[in-house]
Amino acid sequence: MARPILLCTDGSEHSLDALAAGIDLLGATRHYVLVTVADAPDPDVLSGTGHAGAELTADEFDLAVGAAHETARQVLTEAEERLGFVDVEVRVVGGEPGAAICELAGEVSAGAIVLGTRGRGGITRALLGSVSDYVTRTAPCTVVVGRAPDA
């Protein structure tokens, strides 16, 4: 059986354009796994840090995690529709995006990862980091990065 190809999206137009270009490049008949990373709160908000107390109660934290996963599922549903998938495996993962994508790639023995980049440069990239840079350097497989046409 062919190894799956991860299609990673944050739901933005840039990432969806990159995934469409990756599918065009790799072919529509592959085994694709559509992936997004849930933007859940950091567990440190439950215990606080230093002198600061907890920012959320356990119930509030659970609600925030549930809302993040629901938003992530909606991102995947919209991506499925936009990319024209009828039946595709979808995955919501948590944690730091780059690390979570690379970990999933290892778990499923991915043949490749397709994702986009916004083309941030200079100080913005230095301050915010780059998921595509991290994945390119760390992934256990081939990485295809699509750049936004206007970047």
- Per-residue pLDDT reduced to its tens digit, 85-99: 988 999 999 999 999
- As given in the structure block, the two tokens for residue 19 are 């995934």
- Asked if 134 and 104 count as a contact pair (C-beta separation under 8 A), the reply is no
Residue 74 belongs to what H/E stretch? helix 58-83
Identify residue 125 by its one-letter amino acid code: R
- Asked if 8 and 114 count as a contact pair (C-beta separation under 8 A), the reply is yes
Determine the Cα–Cα distance for residues 124 and 2; give it in Å rounded to an integer: 38
- pTM beyond 0.95: the answer is no
Residue 58 belongs to what H/E stretch? helix 58-83
- Asked if 151 and 22 count as a contact pair (C-beta separation under 8 A), the reply is no
The domain made up of 5-39+67-147 has a fold known as Rossmann fold (3.40.50)
Residue ranges in the chain whose pLDDT is less than 70: 1, 42-56, 118-129, 148-151
